[in-house]
Amino acid sequence: MLERRATAPTRQAEKPFAILRRHYDDRLLAARTAHAGGRRVIGSIGPGVPMELAMATGHVSVAIAPLPGHPTPRADRYVTETFEPLMRPAFDQLIGDELSFLEAVIVVSRAERDALVYHSAKEVVRLGEGDHIPPLHLLSLLGHRDAATVEYGLGQFRLLVQRLRAISGDDATEAALKKAIRSGNRQRQLMRKLSAARRGKPALPGREALVALGAAKFMAPDDYSETLARFVSALKPDKTLAALPRLLVVSSIPLSSLHIYETLEAAGAVIVAEDDWWGSRATGPDIRVGDDALTSIFTHYHLHTPNRAIYPAAHRLGWFFAESRKPDIDGIVFYLPPSDRTLGWDYPRMKAYADRHGKPSLLIRSDVFDDTGRKETAAAAAAFVADVARPRPRKRSS
C-alpha cells in the first residue's frame, strides 16, 4: 500500500485531463472516496439539481448516470424496452446495492416522464424488493414562468433544504449558501471558459470537451474547479482542428456518454457546441446573489436549466436559435434515436430554422449503442461531413 502511494503521481502532478477522464469513466469514484472519508454523499438524477443546497448542508453531491451500453438485468425485471434508454442504467444502479451508501437520491422532475425513474424505484420499494435503495426525494418543478410557478418552485427548494438539513444536521445558513454560490460560480466561470475555447478556432475535440464538462457531475466542486482550471489554462487553438467542419449537436437523449461524439468526430468533424446540459448548456451564467441566497439559487436554476418541456418555443429553443446561426457553426447534427418521443415534435421547426440560416443539417435516427446503428451513423456522418467540408457559396444569416 505504501509502495503504491510512493509510486502513484500526486494529484497536482497528474495531468488534469487524466483526472477528469478518470472521474468521467468511474462515476462513483468521488462519491466512494468522500464516503470513505466520512463525508455525507447524496446522489442526483436529472438536470438542475442545485449543488449549492447540497454543499451548504454539508453534502457531497454526485450525479447518478452510469455509462450506458451495459446489461441492466435488475431494471429489466420491471421496465420495458420503451423505458428511457439512459434512465434504464440509472434505474438499474439505483435498485441494486451499489448506491446504498448514499444518504439520499434527489430526482428532479419538470415533466411527467422525468419522474418515471422515481416512481419506478418507489414501486420496487413498495413491492418489498428495494431494501438497498437510498431514500428518495422528488424535486418537482414546473415549466411555467408565472408567479404561482415561481412560488411553487421556491417552496420545493425550501423542502429540499429541510430534507438535506434533516439528514446532516447542518443548517443552510445565509453564509453557507453564499459560500456555496461562490464555489459554484467559480466552477461555472471555468466551464464557460472551456466552452468558449471550443468556438471559433477550436482548442479541443468535442469528445474531450464532453469529458471535461461532464466530470463536473461526478466530482466535488472545489476539486473539479481546481482540476479544470489547470486544464483550461493550457488550452490553445489546435491547428489540426481548425481545418475540420465545426458541428453543433442536438440530441433527444442526454449526452452522458461519448458514443455519438466518437462516431461523428471519426468522420472528420469537430463538435464545438451542443444543446445539452452535459455540454454547452451545463452552466448558464453565474448565480447573482440577491437579498436572499436561496431565492437567488432557485431563480438561477428556474431560468437557466435546459428543459425540453418548457414552453413556449421561444424559451424552449432559444439557445438553439441563438447559437445555431452563428458563423462558427458549419453544420448541425440532430440525433433522434428510436427512443425519441419528445424532440421529434420540435425537429421540423429546428430544421426549418437551420435551413433558413443556410446551415446544413443531418438527422440521425439510428441507435449508436448497437453495432448496426453505429455503422449506419458512421456512414451518414461521413457523407454529411464531406458535404459540409465542400466549399460552398456563403449564405448570409438574417
Partner 1 sequence: MNIAVDRRGAATRAQHDLKCAAEIRAHQKGWFAGLRRRVVDEGEPYALVPAVAPHEIFEAFDMLYVCNEWWSGITAARRLSAHYFDLLNAHGYHRGLPGYAALSLATALEGDSPNQPMGGLPKPAFVLYQGQEGPAARWEGVAEAFGCPAVIATLNPDPARIQHRWWDVSKRMWEDLYDTQRINCVVEGYRQVIAACERATGRKFDIDKLREVMARANAQEEAFDEVRNLIATAPKTPVSLADELAIVMTIQWHRGSQWALDAARIYRDEIKERVAAGAAICPNESIRLAWGGVGLWQNVHFYRAFEQSHGAVFVRSLYMSIAVDGYIRYGLRDPLRALASRYAGLTQEFSQPPASTEWFIHDARHYRCDGAVILPDDTKFMSIALEKAGIPTMVLHVDAVDGRSWDNDRILGEVGDFIAKRVVPNRGNT
Q: Which residues bind partner 1 (CB under 8 A)?
A: 77-80, 82-84, 109, 111-116, 118-120, 122-123, 126-127, 138, 140, 142-144, 146-149, 151-152, 155, 308-313, 316, 336, 338-349, 351, 365
C-alpha cell recorded at residue 59: 453534502
Q: How far apart are CA 338 and CA 365, in angstroms?
A: 6
Q: How far apart are CA 313 and CA 74, in angstroms?
A: 38
C-alpha cell recorded at residue 203: 482548442
Cβ proximity to partner 1: between 208 and 346 the closer is 346
Q: Tell me the residue length of the chain.
A: 398
Cβ proximity to partner 1: between 101 and 347 the closer is 347
CB of 139 to partner 1, least distance (A): 9
CB of 199 to partner 1, least distance (A): 27
CB of 12 to partner 1, least distance (A): 45
Cβ proximity to partner 1: between 116 and 389 the closer is 116
CB of 325 to partner 1, least distance (A): 19
DSSP, collapsed to helix, strand or coil, labels residue 315 as: helix
Q: How far apart are CA 60 and CA 79, in angstroms?
A: 30
CB of 352 to partner 1, least distance (A): 8
Non-local (6+) Cβ contacts of 93 within 8 A are 64, 66, 99
Q: Give me the torsion for CA of 179, 183, 188, 191, rounded to 10°.
A: 180
Cβ proximity to partner 1: between 3 and 146 the closer is 146
Cβ proximity to partner 1: between 116 and 229 the closer is 116
Cβ proximity to partner 1: between 129 and 226 the closer is 129
CB of 361 to partner 1, least distance (A): 11
Q: How far apart are CA 20 and CA 15, in angstroms?
A: 9
CB of 4 to partner 1, least distance (A): 45
C-alpha cell recorded at residue 57: 448542508
Cβ proximity to partner 1: between 318 and 338 the closer is 338
Q: How far apart are CA 287 and CA 300, in angstroms?
A: 6
Please, are residues 249 and 205 in contact by the beta-carbon 8 Å criterion? no
Cβ proximity to partner 1: between 153 and 284 the closer is 153
Non-local (6+) Cβ contacts of 232 within 8 A are 190, 193, 194, 197
Residue 141: half-sphere exposure toward Cβ, Cα within 13 Å: 30
CA distances for 391 relative to 245, 259, 330, angstroms: 11, 29, 11
Cβ proximity to partner 1: between 78 and 101 the closer is 78
Q: How far apart are CA 221 and CA 190, in angstroms?
A: 11
Q: Give me the torsion for CA of 196, 201, 207, 210, rounded to 10°.
A: 0
CB of 104 to partner 1, least distance (A): 15
CB of 182 to partner 1, least distance (A): 31
